[in-house]
Structure 1
Amino acid sequence: MSFDIALMLTSFPQLLAGLGMTLQLLGISLVSGLVIAIVTSWARTTRFLRWPAEAYVYFFRGTPLLVQLFVIYFGLPQAEFVRSGPWWPFLREPFWCMCLALSLNNGAYVAEIIRGGMLGIGKGLKEASWALGLSRFHHLRLVTVPIVTRLCLPTYGNEVVSLMKSTALASTVTLLDVTGVARSIVAETFAPYEIFIAAALIYLALTFLMQTLVSCLEARLGRYAQR
């Protein structure tokens, strides 16, 4: 089997054309997923919303993302109340269906990451805040949030990388992200080996950039602990 390096190199500009779609999906899903996770984490501390929040986290962490995407993309349009509702202009678009699936999945995982970070705050820190006369708001802003952020950042960084790789599923709903463009090139050239290796190199570069950014944030947030 011969390896066509020239074909792999010439495919990079076409593959990079799909990078914008990948980054759009990643950016929207990260922001909305974080919002969902924060709301879910708060709901898990309440009496009446705890069980719905637990059920949401259990479902989206316990089922494959591809199944969730197909339920949203193929299943929801079958419901009459969805087609006649205000969300139909969005749910009939593959892009927004993919964003919804990624956001809900990411929100469930990040909610669990936040819960783990919250468990890292000992009772002694709360008592120390009360002894210093800090209000509940100042305790949250000055003590809870910085500590939880530092504890959660390494795991959250891994989740960001995992979410980036999950955007490759967008090609299954006709979106031309990096993987979608790669599949279309393979259909024309019948050279999957070279094309998908080129796509893999692009994902590796994105992963390296994300891990570097997370490492820099970890170093900055942990500089006081190091001292």
Structure 2
Amino acid sequence: MDFVFLSETFVSLISAIPLTLKLAATSIALGAILALAIALCRLSGILALEWLARSYVFVFRGTPLLVQIFLIYYGLGQFPAVRHSILWPFLRDPYWCAVLALTINTAAYASEIIRGGLLSVPFGQVEAARACGMPRLMQFRRIVLPLAIRQALPGYSNEMISMVKATSLASIITLMEVTGVAGRIISETYRAIEVFIVAGAIYLTINLVLTRLVHLVEHWLSPHLRQPIAHSPAAKVAPALEGDAQ
């Protein structure tokens, strides 16, 4: 194992990390918004919206992301109406084509995760909010959505990790993210094992940091699971009450 080559490869791949993170962050953020809209359509009770959402999930969850990227980047430009539309400056850019493909793909998966989180909210919580006189929008914003996010977050973290790894497919449409730069180095040096070891370590590190961040958010959203602080008044009173009871 040539550690000098590994260090040089690592330095070269570091320059591509910002593009990888930008692709992942943009697609996850836009995909979350789209996924929430799709999940609400599934639960709306309106037959047309429900079947539209079902069809969307079926198509984009049932076809490979690689095919979706090819169709968006190479296929949309075949239509004159697209080339003469206001969207063409974006659709001819490989970055925005990759973001679009990643967004619509992750939205299909994430919508089912969010739908499961919404369905897991206890109905008694909603009834209590109604009894307090909360309007529907306030019920959703203060009661339903926070509880649904807490329930869906463990599953959604897997989807975010998958999106970080899926950014590697953007290299097939000329984007020089981590995998794209790794492929260029391999074509120049013919040393695939060392290069992919370094690239894999970079993806592993990114996902490790992402996992820890999600864990912190999950801990913040679950106050009932936190251990009481040792020097807090509540923690001091609890042992005293236990001693009196004995």
What TM-score results when the alignment is normalised by the length of structure 1? 0.95
Are 1:168 and 2:168 counterparts?
Answer: yes
2: CA distance between counterparts of 1:108 and 1:157? Answer: 15
After the TM superposition, which segments of 4 or more aligned residues of structure 1 sit over 4 Å from their partners?
A: none
Whether contact under 8 Å (1:161, 1:210) holds in the other structure is yes
State the 1:225 CA deviation: 4.7
- Return the letter of the residue paired with 1:184: R
> Residue 20 of structure 1 corresponds to which residue in structure 2?
18
2: CA distance between counterparts of 1:130 and 1:216? Answer: 31
Q: Which runs of 5+ in 2 are unaligned?
A: 228-246
State the 1:142 CA deviation: 1.9
Are 1:132 and 2:168 counterparts?
Answer: no
> Residue 2 of structure 2 corresponds to which residue in structure 1?
4
> Residue 37 of structure 2 corresponds to which residue in structure 1?
39
Whether contact under 8 Å (2:219, 2:225) holds in the other structure is no
Number of matched residues?
225
Q: Which runs of 5+ in 1 are unaligned?
A: none
Whether contact under 8 Å (2:118, 2:145) holds in the other structure is no
Q: Which has the higher contact order (CA 8 A, sep 6+)?
A: 1
State the 1:201 CA deviation: 0.6
2: CA distance between counterparts of 1:137 and 1:50? Answer: 20
- Return the letter of the residue paired with 2:12: Q
> Residue 71 of structure 1 corresponds to which residue in structure 2?
71
Say what the alpha-carbon RMSD is for the aligned residues: 1.3
Deviations 1:32-76 (A, max 9, x none): 111211221222213432211111111111111001111111111
Whether contact under 8 Å (1:150, 1:222) holds in the other structure is yes
- Return the letter of the residue paired with 1:207: N
Deviations 1:193-226 (A, max 9, x none): 0011001110010010000001111111112255
> Residue 29 of structure 1 corresponds to which residue in structure 2?
27
State the 1:153 CA deviation: 0.8
Structure with higher Rg: it is 2
State the 1:128 CA deviation: 2.0
> Residue 108 of structure 1 corresponds to which residue in structure 2?
108
- Return the letter of the residue paired with 2:145: V
Whether contact under 8 Å (2:161, 2:210) holds in the other structure is yes
> Residue 60 of structure 1 corresponds to which residue in structure 2?
60
